[in-house]
Each structure stands twice: as C-alpha cells, then as structure tokens.
Chain A
Amino acid sequence: MATRTIDRAVVRRLEQAVGRDGVLWRPEELLAFEYDSTIEKALPQAVVFPTSARQVAEVVRIALAAGLPVVPRGAGTGLSGGAVATLGGVVVALTRMSRILEIDAANRLAVVEPGVVNLELSKAAEPYGLYYAPDPSSQRACTLGGNVAENAGGPHCLAYGVTTNHVLGLEVVLPDGAIAWLGGRARETPGYDLRGVFVGSEGTLGIVTKIVVRLLHQPEATRTLLAIFDEVDQASEAVSAIIGRGILPSALEMMDREVIRAVEPALHVGYPMDAGAVLLIEVDGLREAVAEQAAAIRQVCLDRGAREVREAEEAEERERLWAGRKGSISALGRLAPNYYVLDGVVPRTKLPQVLRKVYEMGERYGFPIANVFHAGDGNLHPNVLFDERRPGETERVLEVGAEIMRLCVDAGGSITGEHGVGYEKRSFMEWIFSEADLAAMSKVKAAFGSSELYNPCKLFPTGKGCGEVSQRKIERLMAQVGPDAYI
C-alpha cells in the first residue's frame, strides 16, 4: 500500500487544536492504528486524541479543510472495519475522553464520554444496584462510543435489547463541525428521533462526544442452565420451542460440537466432549419468576432430547459456564490456524434448517465450521476453520462466507446482527436493500451534512475510490482474525 503523507502545516494546526501530545503522524507511530479487530489494514495520515467536544469539532474542521477523510475510533475492537482509515486521513481516537461524568441513580441513567470502556460503566454503577445491559463479548475493552457507532449487541441483548434500546441522548459533532444534542435525559423528545438513526450509523454521520444511557436494576435472582444435546438439530429446535413457549431468557447461547472440542480441553469448563451441542441459558428477575422459567426451560430441553440439563448452583459455577462461552473464539485457534468469523441473522424458526445448510456448505467446500452464537435472537456466528497457507483455500473460504450470508438473506434474515456492515459487507447490502432503500439512507446522510470524506467506504455499497471489496483485502482480513477476536 502506498504510504500517504501529511502536510506539516496540517499537523501543526491539529497540534494547536489538541496539543502536541495529542497528535501522532510519523509512520512508525501510526502502525498501531492501521487495523481494528478484523478487517483490512490501512494507514491513517494522522491520529489525534481530543479531550473535549470542542477539540473534536476543531479537528474535524481542520481535516475536512485539508481534504482529509475523518475516521472516528474507539478501542479498535470492531468486527467490520469501521475504525479503519480505508482511504487514509485523520483518525479521531476518543480514548482520552474516558470520564464517567455522572451516574444519576434516581433516574437510572449515566452520562459518559465516548472513550469509557463498556464494563467500566457497569462496575461504576454497581454500588447503586444498577448496571448497563448491552454486553458485547469485547466489553472489557470496547468503548461505549464504539458501541453507539456499531449499535453493539451481546449475549444478554435477547431480553434487554441492543445499544439503541439503552441510549437516551447523544452529544455529537456533526460532519460540518457543529456540536448538537440529539435526544436528552428523558425517554422521548419531540421532533425526529435523530439519536435513533445516529446509533448504528458506523461513524458516517458524526462523532459522539457524550452519551446518556439508561441503567437497569440488577436482577434479584439469576439462574444459569447448561443443556447438553447429542445433535445440533435438537438444540436448535429447543431454542425455537423455548421462545415459542413464550419464555424470553436473558441469554440463550449455542455452542456446537466443533466449539466444544476447542473449548473444553483449553478451559475445562465441564462441557461434555462427545456432545453435539450445548445451550447456555440464563433467566433473571424475581425469584418466583425465574424458578418457574428455569423449570419450564429444563422441561422443554428434555422434551427436545437433551441428554442432560445442568444448573449452576453458585456464582462460581455460573462464571465457569460463561467462561467457556466467552473464551470460545480464542479457543478455536486450537482447531485450525485461521478462522473466518461471520455474523448473520435468521428468523428463529429457521435456525434448524439454516444451520443444517451451513454444515452442508462446509462439507461441500471441505471446511469445518464451528458455530457459537446468540441462538435466542437467531444471530448466527459461523466460524469457518481453514489454513491460509494452503493455496487457494482463502478464496474458497470467501465463497463459503458469501454463500452463508446468502443463506441468511434467503431465509428472511439479515447480513449483520451486531458486527455492522463496515467495509466487509458493503457489497452484500444490495441483497437486502433496494436502490430506493439505499437512496433513502443516502438522503439521511446528506441531511447530516456528511460526505465521502466522513468515514469513507463504510456501510454503503459504493463509494468513490473505495473499489470493490477485493479478494486481496479480504485475505488480509482473515489473516487479521486472531486469538483476540471477539464475538
């Protein structure tokens, strides 16, 4: 990749805006900012670390005046390339804006800066008996600003919703450098729900500088079950049956045979090595309610052929069961040198048939596919296991990935449930959205005053200079997926 340079005069202006210690521009300093957690690499021309909304606004104005793209960035844990400076430009890193400004326990809300790490908020809210519900698996590292940009999910979003369901208000720097509040501290504000469309806009509509989020009461009781099945089919039918029975667990996760084979030897969490699939199911709420739900779930699983349903008796055991789920992606490294993480959604009732086809697809192409995912939402995460050193293997992995996305779309689902479209899936957008749908999105982008310079090559299927999502770039993407990847 050609190295793009930056005019020293622009660097000076950036330094005036955020201070000399807030600007990186020498190529060797920029290396750590050329990638996020999956997708292609691209070197920015500068990385700046503003500490206030005013500074963000100033940086945006300087960059745009210099004709440089602007790319917001949180912790870089994203799984769709949202924080990669595809066409170079100025990366606006929000990690120094990491203060929790307020926890308003009476109103169950918090006001935070975008660089606050997801889990830190729940820790800070704990003394008040409160927590922040969306829990992406990267929650120890990912920032709330990044969560807003990607509308991040997590295992417990089944009952409590994703990021957008918890954001009340946003202070944002708009693409023209103006600062505006969208929404506020109350549950609703008159006018268009601009906060609603901003959440999940993947950094294309502006940069978040403050976030007002809802906090929830910690539940009185939590019960965690592990249902063990001989066959994946039985497990996915149990998922449909649980939801169909009108029970909405707080989490309902599936891990298949391949995943268990990777997790158990590495983490020793007690998943039987000969099982076809396990479901990790959690219910929370009033003691009486969870007791009833846990009993009903146990029965449904047994009816669908579960060989055993275990329940965590104490916190330590519950944490062990979850450790297996949370460590599953890292553990996949035991099975193959590389894996390609997919994120698709299908209607819950289509899970059994789509999963069967996913496995068939793997067999046809000769790749093992390991599935660990948010089954209750129908949010699949197939991991295609392969070895990039074998000639031609990466090309075929790409084909499988695209075909699996196609399966999700054909089943009435979506190309992403929580990772975002980003760079990688731009070309799949046309599978689910018509020209008119995409035009309406472009109009929204125009209304925000956004342009091709604002996080270019993300979300929309076409973009000037972005090129097609090339084979080479996706090869790099897969090479990037390492043991630190999260789902």
Chain B
Amino acid sequence: MSSNALPGAVADLEPALRQILGDALAPGDAACAVDGLVPRLVAAPASVEQLAAALAAANEAGAAAIPWGGGRHMALGNIPARYDIALRTAKLDRVLEHEPADLTVTVEAGMTLGRLQALLAERGQFLPIDPPAGRADAPSDATIGGVLAAGVSGPSRHAYGLPRDWLLGCRVVQADGTVFKGGGRVVKNVAGYDLPKLLIGSLGTLGVIVEATFKVAPLPAAQETFLAAFPSLPPAADLAFAADERGLALRALALIHGPMSTALPEVPASGPEGALAAGWLAGPQAAVERTARELAGLAREAQTRRLEGQQSEGWWARLGEADAASEASVAVRASLPASAVAGFMERLAALGREAGVAVASLSHPTTGLVLARLDSGRDERLVSAIQEARRVAVEAGGCLVVTAAPVAIKERLDVWGDMGEALPLMRRLKEQLDPRGTLNPGRFVGGL
C-alpha cells in the first residue's frame, strides 16, 4: 500500500508531534527496533486523545507507525515496509471499571497483563488469558493491547478458550485518529457487528486498541500440577486425550517433546526420545482430588510427579519461559485439528533429524495448538524445514505461523502463510480502516 505523502511531509512531522506530545516524544532507539529497523521517533502519549492526535498527524504526513505495548510479541509479523514512529501505549494503564460481582473489568490497553492479574487476584478472580510471558521470575510485562493484537494465548485455553471468548468490547483508535468502540461492557450483547473479534490477532493493522472490557473468571478453589514422563510421545498424547475425554477438572493439558522437556524443572527422567504430559488441575477440591487419582491411574506406565502450591504455579510460568525463542532461533505456532497434534509433533521431530535442525515442541493438544522452536546454523535448512512443516500443517487442515525469526529468515518467506480466498476481503478491510497504510505497513498477512 503506497502513501500519497511527499517525503518532506514526514520530515515536518516532528514539530507537529512535539506540539501534541511535548516531552512524550523522543528520538527512536534500538529498544524500539522491529526486525532491525529503528524508528525515527518514539511517542508515548498519556491519554487516548493524545494518542489519537499523534496518530492522526502521522497518518496525515504519510508516516508509518507501529503500536508498541510491552514489546513482548514484536517478533511476530513480516519485516515492516516502513517504520517512522513507535507508538507506545504504556502510559494508558488505568483501571476504568471493575465490578467484581459482575465478573467484568474494563482497563486501558497499556496496562500490563501482570498488573491486571494481580488486581483481579485481590478479588479472587483472574483473566484466563496466559500467553508465554517469556520470563518466569516476574509478572507478565505484555500489555493487554499487545496480547490482543498479537492474538496469543496460553495453557488455560484448554478449559477457558481463547481471548476472543473473553473480550466483551474494546475502544480503538483508527489510523486517522477516529476513536470507535465495538461490543459493550455486559457479558451478553449482540448489538451491531462484533468489531472486537476483528481486532484480536490483527497485529495493530486496523487500529490501536486503547481500552478493553473482559469477562473474568473466579480463581479455582484448588489447583495442582501433574507431570507424567513417557519414553515417547504417543502414550503421552494418549494420556492427554483420555483425560480430556473424561472431562476431568483440568485448567490446562500440555505435551512437551524434545529438549524442552528436560529444560523444565521437576521433570522426571524419560530418555532422549522422551515426552512429557502435563496437567494443570483446577476446580473444587473434591474434583481436583478425583482428577489426580484418575490421572495417576492413566499414567501407570509413566514416571510421574505431583506439584502443589507455588511449585505448581511456578511450573507453568517456567513453561512460558521455555517456550520463548532465543534471538537466533525460529519459533512457529501451528493451529490444527486436535487429532493431528501428536502426529504433527512427531513429524516435526523427524523433520529436524532429517534436516539437521534442532526441534523442541510444546502443544496444547486439546485445542490444537503446537508451539515449536527450530535451531540451526544454516538458514536454508531452517527455511525448508519451516516450509515443510507448514505444508504438513495445512494438509492436516490447519495452518502455521512463524512467530519469531531472524531477519535473514523472514526475508525468505511469508511468516503468515497463504490466506487463500479470504485475502481480498482482508485487503478491503484494511483499505477501509487504514487507507494510507499507516499502521504496521507490510507486517501483516498478504503484505498488509
């Protein structure tokens, strides 16, 4: 998407932004780089109005802006076509409404997920959206807006579903500075188009999410973790699906295959081809106790361990940490029909052996999500391994997104894959809401 602006217009932008933002405008630096591109300016507006005015000015000038929350998921996306301004949302971090008895909360989108969870926990509640935080020793520094825009989720999706099931409404700043909202603040509402759904996973290409209303859930009365290490993947997968089939009181079910399983704490030994099935038990005490008994029965052949209290919570945080890719490696996310998950993980491992690529994978099998990390000193091996893995995923009725990769790899493939017949529609949607291609140009599907 080309901009109509003269090159000079972008140069004139700084004084205009200075007038809107004052001290909240700074020169760009490496901390705000995306795929190695450093923006000229970093804006950190203190209000929605300020953010809208700054974005409108950028749009007017034909500049490209990248919304920046906690910076946690900035590796996602194709290489930006242009990047002039980092638009930080961190100062928009107020709680706007929390009525615990309604089980709803409205916050500004620059609030970190960690802070929101702490706030909800004081009232015995939580938001069951728990994407990999990347570090186990601190609360998530990902912002609400960033988590929604990146479309990420975590282990709790087994029992609680995806962010789309919890977001009730949101307020969004369009590229031209127009502020609109979609949805509402009540738990059931079918008035008008469900615009919040469009924003989730849109990578900030339709607008900047500045406010979000969620349903929240009561914290489970009892929780613990069950680990079962197997010599190979199939019996671990069987355990997970059998537990699901029985409707046991589980908040999460994960499968871990490859080196990742030994990097985690408290994991019983399982040999080089080993796999781990992990269950996060949650619910009323009696249901959790029965679930623990039944899991033990299902895992008679395995080395098992039960973790309670802090140790249990901490284990799932460490899982998120283990999942974070190092800068040199490639991370992929495949979404598949559930029955294809174990086969896909095995195929990934075989692919790694054949291609000389180190592969570690983690899945939330019941909801069909596989997260894998691929390492190799040789880019061409990585690229062909990714392409092959994508082919397998698509053939299984799913898709594969590269969620992090070095620039050299991104230059050689589309991180999103083929959108098929829906792409023209997506393109028209982008053109309607951001006709000048101001927001995140080039990073989204089909080069949007």
Does any Cβ of B come within 8 Å of A421's Cβ?
yes
Which residues of chain B from 187 to 227 have a CB within 8 Å of any chain A CB?
187-195, 197-198, 200-202, 206, 217-219
Does any Cβ of B come within 8 Å of A162's Cβ?
yes
Chain A residues with Cβ under 8 A from B335's Cβ?
A: 186-189
Does any Cβ of B come within 8 Å of A100's Cβ?
no
Does any Cβ of A come within 8 Å of B395's Cβ?
no
Complex contact A418–B369 (CB within 8 A) = no
Complex contact B284–A437 (CB within 8 A) = no
Does any Cβ of A come within 8 Å of B12's Cβ?
no
CA distance A425 to B189 in the complex (A): 13
Does any Cβ of A come within 8 Å of B433's Cβ?
yes
CB distance from B282 to the nearest CB of A (A): 11
Nearest residue, chain B, Cβ from A449: B428
If A192-B426, A289-B287, A447-B428 touch, whether A347 touches B186 (CB-CB below 8 Å) is yes
Complex contact A345–B189 (CB within 8 A) = yes
Complex contact A444–B102 (CB within 8 A) = no
Which residues of chain A from 137 to 165 have a CB within 8 Å of any chain B CB?
150-151, 153, 157, 161-162, 164-165
- 1/0 per residue A309-353: CB within 8 Å of B? 000000000000000000000000000000000000111110000
Nearest residue, chain B, Cβ from A411: B186
Nearest residue, chain A, Cβ from B428: A447
Does any Cβ of A come within 8 Å of B68's Cβ?
no
If A288-B287, A434-B180 touch, whether A190 touches B399 (CB-CB below 8 Å) is yes
CB distance from B297 to the nearest CB of A (A): 15
Which stretch (B20-28, B138-146, B242-250) binds chain A?
B242-250
Complex contact A414–B186 (CB within 8 A) = yes
Which residues of chain B from 270 to 285 have a CB within 8 Å of any chain A CB?
283-285
Complex contact A190–B286 (CB within 8 A) = no
CA distance A432 to B184 in the complex (A): 8
If A186-B335, A187-B368, A190-B399 touch, whether A217 touches B189 (CB-CB below 8 Å) is no
Complex contact B429–A192 (CB within 8 A) = yes
CA distance A124 to B123 in the complex (A): 42
Does any Cβ of B come within 8 Å of A193's Cβ?
yes
Q: Identify the interface centre among A150, A245, A416, A447: most chain B CB within 10 Å of its CB.
A: A447
If A417-B189, A448-B425 touch, whether A193 touches B399 (CB-CB below 8 Å) is no
Does any Cβ of B come within 8 Å of A378's Cβ?
yes
Which stretch (B159-167, B231-239, B251-259, B323-331) binds chain A?
B159-167
Chain B residues with Cβ under 8 A from A434's Cβ?
A: 180-181
Does any Cβ of B come within 8 Å of A65's Cβ?
no
If A181-B422, A189-B399, A437-B182 touch, whether A196 touches B164 (CB-CB below 8 Å) is yes
Does any Cβ of B come within 8 Å of A104's Cβ?
yes
- 1/0 per residue A193-224: CB within 8 Å of B? 11011011100000000000000010110000
Chain A residues with Cβ under 8 A from B99's Cβ?
A: 347, 349
- 1/0 per residue B393-414: CB within 8 Å of A? 0000111010000000000000
CA distance A189 to B445 in the complex (A): 11
Does any Cβ of B come within 8 Å of A440's Cβ?
yes
Q: Which of B179, B421, B431 makes the CB contact (< 8 A) with A180?
A: B421
Chain A residues with Cβ under 8 A from B125's Cβ?
A: 246
| A-B contacts at CB below 8 angstroms, number | 262
Does any Cβ of B come within 8 Å of A2's Cβ?
no
CA distance A259 to B368 in the complex (A): 45
CA distance A174 to B249 in the complex (A): 42
CA distance A447 to B185 in the complex (A): 26
CA distance A197 to B197 in the complex (A): 6
Complex contact A286–B190 (CB within 8 A) = no
Nearest residue, chain B, Cβ from A188: B335
Complex contact A182–B336 (CB within 8 A) = no
Does any Cβ of A come within 8 Å of B156's Cβ?
no
Does any Cβ of B come within 8 Å of A51's Cβ?
no
Nearest residue, chain B, Cβ from A374: B188
Chain A residues with Cβ under 8 A from B397's Cβ?
A: 184-186
CB distance from A163 to the nearest CB of B (A): 9
Which residues of chain A from 420 to 467 have a CB within 8 Å of any chain B CB?
420-421, 425, 429, 432-434, 436-441, 443-449, 459
Q: Which of A150, A292, A415, A447 makes the CB contact (< 8 A) with B425?
A: A447
Nearest residue, chain B, Cβ from A433: B192
CA distance A416 to B422 in the complex (A): 30
Does any Cβ of A come within 8 Å of B4's Cβ?
no
Does any Cβ of B come within 8 Å of A479's Cβ?
no
Chain B residues with Cβ under 8 A from A459's Cβ?
A: 192-193
Q: Identify the interface centre among A190, A193, A419: most chain B CB within 10 Å of its CB.
A: A190
Does any Cβ of A come within 8 Å of B363's Cβ?
no
Nearest residue, chain B, Cβ from A184: B397
Does any Cβ of B come within 8 Å of A109's Cβ?
yes
Complex contact A196–B417 (CB within 8 A) = no
Does any Cβ of B come within 8 Å of A371's Cβ?
no
Q: Which of A186, A247, A432 makes the CB contact (< 8 A) with B191?
A: A432
Q: Which of B186, B218, B249 makes the CB contact (< 8 A) with A246?
A: B218
Nearest residue, chain A, Cβ from B401: A190
Chain B residues with Cβ under 8 A from A414's Cβ?
A: 184, 186, 188-191
CB distance from B30 to the nearest CB of A (A): 28
Nearest residue, chain A, Cβ from B169: A414
Complex contact B185–A193 (CB within 8 A) = no
Does any Cβ of A come within 8 Å of B423's Cβ?
yes
CB distance from B198 to the nearest CB of A (A): 5
Nearest residue, chain A, Cβ from B178: A436
CB distance from A365 to the nearest CB of B (A): 25
CB distance from A454 to the nearest CB of B (A): 14
Nearest residue, chain A, Cβ from B100: A244
Complex contact A194–B164 (CB within 8 A) = no
Chain A residues with Cβ under 8 A from B202's Cβ?
A: 192
Q: Which of A192, A247, A346, A420 makes the CB contact (< 8 A) with B190?
A: A420
Does any Cβ of A come within 8 Å of B151's Cβ?
yes
Complex contact B101–A243 (CB within 8 A) = yes
Complex contact B180–A436 (CB within 8 A) = yes
CB distance from A41 to the nearest CB of B (A): 23
CB distance from B305 to the nearest CB of A (A): 23
Chain A residues with Cβ under 8 A from B284's Cβ?
A: 288-289, 292-293
Q: List 25 A-B contacts (CB under 8 A).
A: A180-B422, A184-B398, A185-B398, A186-B337, A189-B335, A194-B422, A196-B164, A196-B200, A199-B194, A240-B101, A244-B100, A288-B290, A292-B285, A346-B186, A347-B102, A378-B186, A412-B186, A434-B180, A437-B180, A440-B174, A441-B193, A443-B429, A444-B193, A445-B193, A446-B428
- The 10 A-B residue pairs whose C-beta atoms are closest, nearest first, are A196-B197, A246-B218, A288-B286, A244-B101, A443-B432, A447-B429, A106-B339, A440-B180, A414-B189, A289-B287
Given contacts A185-B337, A200-B194, 12 further A-B contacts (CB under 8 A): A157-B188, A185-B397, A191-B423, A191-B444, A199-B194, A219-B247, A248-B217, A289-B283, A412-B185, A414-B186, A421-B190, A440-B172
Interface residues of A (CB under 8 A from B): 104, 106-109, 150-151, 153, 157, 161-162, 164-165, 174, 178-182, 184-194, 196-197, 199-201, 217, 219-220, 240, 243-248, 285-286, 288-289, 291-293, 345-349, 374, 377-379, 412-421, 425, 429, 432-434, 436-441, 443-449, 459
